[in-house]
Structure 1
Amino acid sequence: MNFELLKPAISEITEHALLSNEEKLKNICQFLQQNISYYNWVGFYFANHETQTLHLGPYVGAETDHTVIPFGKGICGQVAESNANFVVPDVAAQDNYIACSFTVKSEIVVPLFVDGINIGQIDIDSHVINPFSAADERFLEFVNEQVATLF
């Protein structure tokens, strides 16, 4: 996967003057799911620091019951506390994993920072074991840098 070829489209989405931020985030999710074969569920969670919870934002993929996740719970909740990327090559081997679907085999979560504060994250599930590389991490960090300009 040549992620460099995808970067201009991400920038174009975030810079689109006629779309709301919600529409931009949804379009990014759709773009990623359509252009990266192993990105089967793509979504954003946003932090409420007062309640120490994450709240589901725009996403594409199978419906999820996990619309609110406490900090520390599951992969997303751990990223809310650690402020670090978390790659799970095989969710079956992960102790603190919130199962979304039996089809999910791996997950990557990359925090979203605005002015140095972790305001949320991009969360991606895959139906493939161990598809995520350092290149995915760097690309998703770029995606989040672009998304951060919306806030």
Structure 2
Amino acid sequence: MKYLQVDSQLFINNRGEFSKKLKENTLAIFNSNDIMPTNADGTIPFRQNNDLFWLSGVDQEESVLIVCPNNKEKEILFLKETSELIAIWEGSKLTKEEALNTSGISAVYWLSEMEEKLENLISKCDGIYLNKNIHSRAASKVQTRDDRFRNM
């Protein structure tokens, strides 16, 4: 564990405040940061996307948060499916129950289920918010997960 568990109520409150700012019948999508390589078999230590962490408390790669206040499932979290083999080679990943305890989000699915769920959500909404770093010095030659998501 990187740090002590934060009370999930903090993230529930953060999502509540964020949801109030969304236009009616829209949704917002947040992708985790990528794992960045250093060479053929090394990587830079993972650092989560600040927005995703602020809204969910999830500090794990290949995670996606969807906030959709007008939907039955108002907050949906998608995670990389874990297994004993993944735990050995990549380290432990969150289970659905651990994700619920961390984030307070009850709708937790594996990343492999996202496409079908997202199609259904998008067909019912009038607009989508996608995360983008608009800082004047944020120009990067490396395409981020958010960039790739926008280009789907």
TM-score by length of 2: 0.31
